[in-house]
């Protein structure tokens, strides 16, 4: 059972990292925030800024 939990956490982390890579690649200015609960990523927030020169 412990092994199954670790596999699920590892899969969750890989999915989160894939999503973070996409978001970071799409943002020119801003931030990406991960919300973690019990060692599992439960939410990813993206905040984008638009710079006016």
pLDDT value of position 35:
97
pLDDT value of position 14:
95
Distances (CA, A) of 8 to 12, 14, 43: 6, 10, 16
Compute mean pLDDT per 10 residues along the chain, 53 residues long, and list them.
Answer: 84 95 95 95 96 88
pLDDT value of position 47:
97
pLDDT value of position 6:
87
pLDDT value of position 1:
59
Instruction: Note whether 29 and 48 are within 8 A (CB).
Output: yes
Q: For the CA atoms of the chain, what is the radius of gyration?
A: 14
pLDDT value of position 18:
97
pLDDT value of position 3:
84
């Amino acid at each position: 059972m412990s092994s199954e939990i670790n596999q699920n956490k590892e899969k969750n982390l890989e999915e989160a990292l894939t999503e973070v890579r996409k978001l970071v690649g799409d943002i020119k200015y801003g931030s990406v925030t991960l919300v973690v609960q019990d060692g599992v990523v439960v939410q990813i927030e993206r905040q984008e800024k638009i710079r006016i020169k």
